[in-house]
Structure 1
Amino acid sequence: MPDFVRTIDLFCGAGGLSVGFEQLSGLPFKTVWANDSNGFAADTFNLNFGPVCRAGDIVDLLKDPSVPVPQVDVVMGGPPCQGFSLLNKQRGDDPRSKLWIPFMEVVRRSGARLFLMENVPQLLGSREHQELCARASSMGFTVWSGALVAADYGVPQTRKRAFIVGSMDSDPAEFFPPPVTHCKPGAPTTVQPWRTVADAIADLPPPVGTEIRSIAPPLDLHFGRNPTEKSRARYLAIPEQGMNRLDLQRAAPEITPDCWIRKTSGGTDLFGRLWWDRPAFTVRTEFYKPEKGRYLHPEQHRPITHREAARFQSFPDSFRFTGTKVEIARQIGNAVPPLLAAALARQLYLLHRAAQQE
């Protein structure tokens, strides 16, 4: 067995990156230190990986001399993306878009010769992206940046995210992007077709109750909600796969919210039903609210459950979440899909091995 490749997982959330690296890549990665500002997420991380995650603000931790940063091979993580998100594009300079600075400080202190950063695609080409790449270059790193679609790597979800890879020893552009393993059906290629909603959740029975249950997975997180009568009527008014708020307006204008009627452009996924034969759309932190996106079950008259969302993110059923329903939903929606993380891990391992053989 080769020596472990030691990693730090920053802004780690529940641990989507570490699941991919440690559990799904088939390679000897080991997270030895992690951090998240959310205590519930840190508890989930420690439940699955052992007591390596320190909860708290990373800036404060870096100021504390009693908190040493261990020496590692790789630093990875996804600084909070609100500063770049399309949902926040009118807010101007957002201090949360600067959290790459403590990330790179951890890279420096840890002696890591590789780093991997995840964020929303809007990061690419931004001023912060340029500043980050300049900082990495001044530290001796060669950088690759690009956007990847999770469905191309076996995740049953069309989530698109930006990744930045830095290496002190080789040009990461020789190893990235990872070769795709899945593709949109009908594409002229020999790789497998995208995994679909049916692939991910068709085996699950209808959900029971409205609370987390103390039973074995996957049914522990497979619970429903108590919709209002008006919400239930809205679900019934759009029974076919792929329907959305525009179909609701045509079928039942009397129960369509006025704000949706006034909204004449954009937002076609709001109050949308999923399709069985396509991947899910991006799972966000409030996936249990169908007014927030395409989160209605393909045929049952309800939003998707926490278990279904976790499967769309490619979390194994054996992964254990802890916290309230809202906190677990936040952990699921904020995570890097583990199967996408595993594809990234395999390429980083090749980079690491290439440096060792030089």
Structure 2
Amino acid sequence: MSYRIIDLFSGAGGLTQGFIEVGDDAFKPVFALDNNEAAIATYNENFGGHGIVADIEKWVKGDVPEADLVIGGPPCQGFSLLNKKRTGDERRALWEPFLETVQKSGAIAFVMENVAQLAKSPELDDIKAQAERIGFQTVVGVLNAADYGAPQVRRRTFVLGWNTSMFVEGLSLPKPSHASPKEESSLPPWRTVHDAIADLPPAPIGTEIGDDPVLGLHFGRNPTKLSQMRYRHVPEGGNRFDLQRNAEHLTPACWIRKKSGGTDLFGRLWWDRPSVTIRTEFFKPEKGRYLHPIEHRPITHREAARLMGFEDTFEFRGSKIEIAKQIGNAVPPDLARAIARAVLVAFNSREKSTNAEENQSSRAA
């Protein structure tokens, strides 16, 4: 049996990809929505033509397709550390049409993903209360993608909900499949940057998107001579403070004045650790720890996609900046796959219970 999925705020489709990868056609995407045209072009290229560009608040007032499961990540800017006051951002409330879609589609469960800060936000109480009003119980957890096989440390809040009238037992958060090498564990260690990108050519293939299915995204910037000199003074695992110690004359004055904070700025990744969180401007080392572990350059789009957990067969559409946003905003497919397996266990358990009850009723008749 295939369970139908609606993916809201789908982006490129990292969540859908994870559910697809469970295999055996267990989950079938039937509809996706995002307000970004390039992201939907990517989604449709990989999953079919059922993704649309739309404003969810207007769309949900019309006909909503039937589904068994609604997944998605309402925009997280309202919870972001970049918006510490958490005021004046209506995007915080987009979980409301998300839950309205759950109700109108007839879905029996949902998976909502957001930034880690949601777990400590007053909005989480509102989300849980609204879910309860429409008959859903929830379980919440902050999960690290590295614990589920992604070569990236990325902590996100997941809210799993299920219709209490449809399940004898509810949904559970997935158990980790990997562990930090610093922990005493029988699980495999976290996957590393080396595991993910070491086989790619050391030098980018030009500065533009290419036609090669694998190397087409392995392109780089054209850094200035000053930038190239700066890169050479940052060791593996180093950052802007190493640049200042090793070559203060090359260090921007604003960094010299700022004595604390920003330890990832102008930082290099480590070969033997997972990547830091890949964000939308990973091609700018001044924005974070995005320098290649040993090459004197920022990571490429292909390297970022691999660090996010996308296979090389996944096809992106759009400009360089648009693709970077799709990669940085995605849910790592490895983490999504772990969520999907946990959801499938609950769905299959429900199916067995339903069949057993029907068989018992037939025998009684």
Structure 2-normalised TM-score? 0.93
In structure 2, the partner of 1:227 is 223
Unmatched segments (≥5 aa) in structure 1: none
Equivalent residue in structure 2 for 1:76, among 71, 79, 88 = 71
Deviation at 1:27, TM superposition (A): 5.3
User: Does residue 320 in structure 1 map to residue 315 in structure 2?
Assistant: yes
In structure 2, the partner of 1:57 is 55
Equivalent residue in structure 2 for 1:157, among 128, 152, 158 = 152
Larger radius of gyration: 2
Deviation at 1:93, TM superposition (A): 3.9
In structure 2, the partner of 1:198 is 194
Over 3 Å counting, the alpha-carbon distance change for 1:171 and 1:232 in structure 2 is: farther
- Counterpart-to-counterpart distance in 2, 1:196 and 1:5: 33
User: Does residue 6 in structure 1 map to residue 1 in structure 2?
Assistant: no
In structure 2, the partner of 1:213 is 210
Equivalent residue in structure 2 for 1:295, among 287, 290, 296 = 290
- SS of residue in 1 equivalent to 2:280: coil
Post-superposition Cα deviations, 1:73-124, rounded to whole Å, max 9, x if no partner, equal 1000001110001122135242111110110110011010100000001111
Aligned sequence identity (%): 55
User: Does residue 101 in structure 1 map to residue 99 in structure 2?
Assistant: no
- Counterpart-to-counterpart distance in 2, 1:301 and 1:24: 38
In structure 1, the partner of 2:18 is 20
Deviation at 1:69, TM superposition (A): 1.2
- Counterpart-to-counterpart distance in 2, 1:309 and 1:171: 41
CA contact (8 A) 1:146 1:177 kept: yes
CA contact (8 A) 1:25 1:346 kept: no
Post-superposition Cα deviations, 1:4-24, rounded to whole Å, max 9, x if no partner, equal 110000000000001100135
In structure 1, the partner of 2:281 is 286
- SS of residue in 2 equivalent to 1:193: coil
Over 3 Å counting, the alpha-carbon distance change for 1:124 and 1:16 in structure 2 is: same
Tell me which amino acid in the other structure corresponds to 1:305: T
Superposition pairs for residues 260-275 of structure 1, below 5 Å? 260-275=255-270
- SS of residue in 2 equivalent to 1:164: strand
Equivalent residue in structure 2 for 1:337, among 332, 337, 342 = 332
Over 3 Å counting, the alpha-carbon distance change for 1:27 and 1:184 in structure 2 is: farther
In structure 2, the partner of 1:144 is 139
In structure 2, the partner of 1:347 is 342
- Counterpart-to-counterpart distance in 2, 1:30 and 1:261: 53
- Counterpart-to-counterpart distance in 1, 2:287 and 2:248: 19
- Counterpart-to-counterpart distance in 1, 2:265 and 2:278: 13
Deviation at 1:56, TM superposition (A): 1.6
- Counterpart-to-counterpart distance in 1, 2:39 and 2:22: 20
Equivalent residue in structure 1 for 2:87, among 92, 100, 104 = 92
The two structures, once aligned, show a CA RMSD in angstroms of 1.4
Structure 1-normalised TM-score? 0.95
CA contact (8 A) 1:12 1:35 kept: yes
Tell me which amino acid in the other structure corresponds to 2:37: G
Deviation at 1:357, TM superposition (A): 2.6
CA contact (8 A) 1:17 1:337 kept: yes
- Counterpart-to-counterpart distance in 2, 1:24 and 1:312: 20
Count how many residue pairs are aligned between Structure 1 and Structure 2: 350
- SS of residue in 2 equivalent to 1:54: strand
- Counterpart-to-counterpart distance in 2, 1:171 and 1:115: 16
Unmatched segments (≥5 aa) in structure 2: 354-365
CA contact (8 A) 1:25 1:342 kept: no
User: Does residue 236 in structure 1 map to residue 232 in structure 2?
Assistant: yes
User: Does residue 252 in structure 1 map to residue 247 in structure 2?
Assistant: yes
Tell me which amino acid in the other structure corresponds to 2:57: V
Deviation at 1:186, TM superposition (A): 3.9
Over 3 Å counting, the alpha-carbon distance change for 1:188 and 1:26 in structure 2 is: farther
CA contact (8 A) 1:24 1:338 kept: no
